[in-house]
Structure 1
Amino acid sequence: MIHSFNCRVYYEDTDLAGIVYYANYLRFIERARSEWVRARGVDQRALKETEGVVFAVRRVEADYLQPAKFDDELTVLTEVENIGGASMTLKQSVTRDGVILFTAVVTLVAINANGAPVRLPAILRKPLH
């Protein structure tokens, strides 16, 4: 299942040439991941408070294919590539009118308050399948 999240490029997202600053794509895909988890019925705040589990990005592999520009309406697509015991890997892409501008493969790890990896909680695993 592919999750879709729409966002617009604001002036603050761009450089002097009106092109999205490269690091802002990471912000766009982060927002999309948060909405993807929420769409599956998982409350990340409650997960932290009740089980002490949060997620950390372990790895990002990114390709910048074409620039997004000021006022573009973008769509971020998110899909599961793999789910492990304590981690999950997601494929994400940022598109404009169906054209892929940016792709990323993101590995997330479930960790506890001490930063140690922990198993993905059942509440999260169940909605993913």
Structure 2
Amino acid sequence: MQDGAHVLPIRVYYEDTDFSARVYHASYLRFMERGRTELLRAVEVAQSDLHADMGGLAFVVRKMNIDFLGGAVMDDVLTIVTRPKEMRGASMTLAQEVRRGDEVLVKADVMVAAVRGGRAVRIPDELRAALSVDF
């Protein structure tokens, strides 16, 4: 954690690239998913525990706004930066960046919704409190 955000280093592997040896655009989605999961772990919330302990509660991506600004290649070490941006009743928006050093390659705002049984539910108060704490 640094400057109010969770920071996750990721190395680019062959499997993350396309035929041009650049990171395939969908790989950035996987990287950002890992960043969101690790943010929850950093505030001591495991998605598997939420699901098991809260009657099947899960988070689903509702909306993404992505700006691809540059490309990474195999063996690059990237940093996935994830910070809470907005919290609502059943949804929260997270601001994410994929960086190579100081260069921002991808920026995204990702809205996730809490659901149970296919229906939106309020984000648990414990998680709400944990994510509102300044890191």
TM value normalised by structure 2: 0.92
1:10 equivalenced with 2:10 (yes/no): no
Aligned to 1:106: 110
In the alignment, is the contact (CA less than 8 A) between 1:64 and 1:102 conserved in 2?
A: yes
The answer for unaligned runs of 5 or more in structure 1 is none
Tell me which amino acid in the other structure corresponds to 2:92. M
**Identity rate, percent:** 45
8 A contact 1:57–1:107 mirrored in 2? yes
1:79 maps onto 2:86 in alignment = no
Runs of 4+ in 1 over 3 A off after TM superposition: none
Given the alignment of the two structures, is residue 46 of structure 1 paired with residue 36 of structure 2, yes or no? no
Q: CA deviation at 1:123?
A: 2.0
Partner of 1:59: 63
1:124 pairs with 116, 119, 127, which one? Answer: 127
Q: CA deviation at 1:80?
A: 1.0
Secondary structure at the residue paired with 2:120? coil
Cα RMSD for the two superposed structures: 0.7
Q: 1:64-95 CA distances to partner (integer Å, 9 max, x unpaired)?
A: 10011111000000111100010000000000
Q: 5+ residue gaps in structure 2?
A: none
User: Secondary structure in 2 aligned to 1:23?
Assistant: helix
